[in-house]
Amino acid sequence: MTEPIRWVQTNLREVDASLDARRLAEQLAAMKANVLLQGMGGIAAYYPTQVEFHYASPNLPAGRDMFGDVVRELHARHIRVVGRYDLSKTRKEVFDAHPEWFFRQANGEPVIYNGLYSTCINGGYYRSQAMKILAEGLEKYDVDGLFFNMFGNQSRDYSGRYVGLCHCAECQRRYGALHGKPIPESPDEDYRRFMFTSSREVASAIGKLIKEKRPKAGYFNYIQEYTDGIMSESNTAVARPLPLWPYSASDHVNRARNSQPEKMSVNLNMQFVDFWWRFATVPASEIAMRSWQMMAHGGALTFEVNGTLDLQDRQALEAAKPIFQWAARHEQYYVQQQSMARVLLLGAPANTGRTFSEEPYRGVFRLLSEEHIPFAVSDNMEWLGRRNYDLVIATEWAPAALAEYAAKGGNVLLLGAGAPEFPVVPAETTTKDVRGYIRIRDKSMFPSLKDADLVMLNGPFTSLPADGKAPLTLIPPSMIGPPEFIHIDMKDTDTPAIVTRRLGQGSVTWLPWNLAGMYYRHSLPAHAGVFRDIVNRLHPHRLIRTNAHPLVEMC
């Protein structure tokens, strides 16, 4: 939080246990990295461990302390070291000695992947044995931080095979005591809450141990509670549905820095294409784009590789190097950054038991970025009363606390068919899939649509009371063929497609249809025009006005 971070992660394999620590240090120093995240212990220790049921890599040379060598060489060059642990899996010998420590499928079978057995977050391995393993590492090495991978019970293995929920005796006992029923076959709200609580209990215990043994060391994993940073990843997968999300790094960092501004965002820039091709890199331009996005939004500059920096495919590394070096030369501009945005986009919180679609959120993210409107993202309401915004935009999550914000003079824009958690106008009915249009009734309010009288509607629509004054109204579905019959039965209605209401000193504007989700999928200029003209009315005093290309981000 006080110095610019240039963070490199090397996901070491067991066979990398004999790496040349001095060479690695020289490579990082030439790249101008100042933090290394590297394997330390867990599945394999990269130092001679003395803890029972913890095993050094079989490739660690006899008498060699590779991790200790790395710490010594890097600290001599003022590069910090974050040790990586993965406690989610371990060897068969441990399972044979303590089968009660391990994840059990509904049929009682353990989860085995490449000979490793999955542990359970509620079992003795995480709750006791892991603390002994971690205590040894913390006492032996002056590490600057600890990172924990695969934290908690995973319902799928690396190959995507569904293994379900853990049915070990301890999970059954704990869950039954809490809810008075057996563990379900698929996760429901009660089970998600149970896993949330279980993982946070272990996270808290690990955090206390780290602070006790190494008070100055940072604590990182992929959960937010008890940690010192918000971890995330920008990555790819070949089966991921289109469209690709080019704002991944901006999205993660913006949300983290503005949801929990007291913590640093460390969004890992993953170099590989997918799990099956760990050594094949994504395009160099994608590595570069993520890098600039992370810095621009106030996060750490990062780069991740599998294995050492002596790569068989060096394209991603060669793309990252000059950016790291540039960031080091200009580091005075990339420290203690804070968002000055006057527009806030609410991102749906996790662990609520509800399912939220990403599409409307991403649609607004794109629209704001392409309109060059600096905006902050938050997945909580902790900013309320602490930070002033001119406009707050919500898609599927519109909490009751927004009414307090509006009452004090703020403007709220709701985009979606779901009713907010506070009264605006009474919702009548919601139709899940309306394939119609939105009529532009008041062209003076929508100057961007001078050449369009209607826009596409596809998806859910909520009917609101008509007053005959709405500037946007519903055109319901009509005939689509044959060509001689196309829309000859089209009928206009007075059903509003937008309502605006005063709320105290502020206002709430509600479009009860999925404008943002459609923009995310289809990129229609008409949808962008509707959004642009509404936001211009609600947020007339922009921080930036520019004729830059829409794909230039303004942060």
Q: Is residue 192 part of a domain?
A: no
Query: Are residues 497 and 380 part of one domain?
Result: yes
Q: Coil, helix or strand for 316?
A: helix
Q: Measure the CA–CA gap between 144 and 83, rounded to whole angstroms.
A: 8
Q: What is the pLDDT of residue 1?
A: 85
Q: Which of 281, 314, 333 is the endpoint of a domain?
A: 333
Cα separation of 285 and 435, whole Å? 38
Please state, in angstroms and rounded to a whole number, the distance separating the CA atoms of residues 520 and 245.
Answer: 10
The owner of tokens 């441990």 is: 94
Helix residue ranges per DSSP H, 299-415: 315-329, 358-370, 401-407
Residue 498 in tokens: 């937008």
Q: Which two tokens stand for residue 223?
A: 């959960």
C-alpha angle with apex 356: 350 to 358, nearest 5 degrees? 100
Predicted confidence at residue 103, as pLDDT, reads: 98
Distance, in Å, from the CA atom of 287 to the CA atom of 269, rounded to the nearest integer, reads 7
Residues 288, 422, single domain; the answer is no
Q: Are 320 and 411 contained in the same domain?
A: no
Domain membership flag for residue 451: yes
First vs last Cα of the chain: how many Å apart? 19
Per-residue model confidence (pLDDT) at position 152: 82
Q: How far apart are CA 231 and CA 203, in angstroms?
A: 14
Q: Residue 368 is part of which domain span?
A: 343-538
Task: Specify whether 527 is located in the same domain as 425.
Answer: yes
Distance separating alpha carbons of residues 495 and 513, to the nearest angstrom: 12
- Listed residue (431, 460, 354, 459) closest to 398, CA to CA: 354
Query: In this structure, is residue 14 part of a structural domain?
Result: yes
Cα→Cα distances 240→215, 237, 257, Å? 41, 5, 26
Amino acid at 416: G
Q: Do 371 and 320 share a structural domain? A: no
Answer yes or no: is pLDDT of 27 > 80: yes
Is 385 in the same domain as 347?
Answer: yes
Say what percent of the chain tops pLDDT 90. Answer: 94
Cβ distance 147 to 37 under 8 Å?
yes
Rounded to an integer, what distance in angstroms lies between the CA atom of residue 62 and that of residue 60?
Answer: 6
**Is residue 24 one of the residues assigned to a domain?**
yes
Which residues, in sequence order, are bridge partners of residue 487?
A: none
467, 26, 504, 551: which is closest to 250 by C-alpha? Answer: 551
Digit-coded pLDDT (tens) for 409-466: 999 999 999 999 999 999 999 999 999 999 999 999 999 999 999 999 999 999 999 9
Band of the pLDDT at 303, cuts 50, 70, 90?
very high
Distance CA 50, CA 136 (A): 8
Q: Are residues 329 and 353 in the same domain?
A: no
Q: How far apart are CA 128 and CA 138, in angstroms?
A: 16
Q: Which amino acid is at 527?
A: H
325 and 348, same domain (yes or no): no
- Specify the higher pLDDT residue, 348 or 289: 289
Number of folded domains that form the chain: 2
- Classify residue 124: in a domain, yes or no: no
Task: Indicate the residue among 333, 367, 382 that finishes a domain.
Answer: 333
- DSSP lists the bridge partners of residue 162 as 156
- Asked if 348 and 501 touch (Cβ cutoff 8 Å), the reply is no
Give yes or no for residue 351 having a pLDDT over 80: no
Q: Which among 546, 543, 552 is positioned nearest to 343, based on CA atoms?
A: 543
Do 506 and 378 reside in the same domain of the chain? Answer: yes
- Is 18 inside any structural domain? yes
Last residue of a domain, one of 304, 333, 362: 333
The yes-or-no verdict on residue 290 having pLDDT over 80 is yes
How far apart, in whole angstroms, are the C-alpha atoms of residue 210 and residue 228?
A: 11
pLDDT tens per residue, range 43-102: 999 999 999 999 999 999 999 999 999 999 999 999 999 999 999 999 999 999 999 999
- Residue 512 tokens read as 């009860």
Distance in angstroms (rounded) separating the CA atoms of residues 398 and 509: 12
Alpha-carbon distance of 203 to 460, in angstroms, equals: 40
> Do residues 297 and 248 make contact, with C-beta atoms less than 8 angstroms apart?
no
**In CATH, what number is assigned to the domain containing residue 424?**
3.40.50.880
- Across the strands, what pairs with 83? 38, 146
Tokens of 137: 């590492």
Strand 391-394 and strand 411-415: the pairing is: parallel
pLDDT digits (tens, 9 = 90+) for 170-197: 999 999 999 999 999 999 989 999 999 9
Name the percent of the chain lying above pLDDT 70: 99
Residue 123 lies in a domain: no
The pLDDT score that the predictor gives to residue 150 is 87
Q: Secondary structure of 36-58 in the HEC alphabet?
A: EEEEEEECCECCCCCCCCCCECC
Tell me the per-residue pLDDT of 498-520, one tens digit each, with 9 for 90 and over.
999 999 999 999 999 999 999 99
What is the model's pLDDT at position 355?
79
Beta-carbon count within 10 A of 462 CB: 22
- What is the C-alpha to C-alpha distance for residues 288 and 327, in angstroms, rounded to an integer? 12
For residue range 235-267, list pLDDT tens digits in order: 999 999 889 999 999 999 999 999 999 999 999
Please tell me what DSSP assigns to residue 349: P
CATH, residue 12: 3.20.20.80
What does 287-315 look like in DSSP terms, one character per residue?
HHHHHHHHHHTT--EEEEEES-SS-S--H
**443 and 399, same domain (yes or no):** yes
Query: What DSSP element (H or E) covers 191?
Result: helix 189-213
Would you say how long the chain is, in residues? 555
According to DSSP, the β-strands at 264-269 and 272-274 are unpaired
Residues 316, 297, single domain; the answer is: yes
Domain membership of residue 154 (yes or no) is no
Side by side, the strands of the sheet bearing 430-440 are 454-462, 430-440, 472-475
Residue 353 has pLDDT above 70, yes or no: no
Using the predicted structure, report yes or no on whether residue 327 has a pLDDT greater than 90: yes
441 plus 389 within the same structural domain: yes
CB 119 within 8 A of CB 169: no
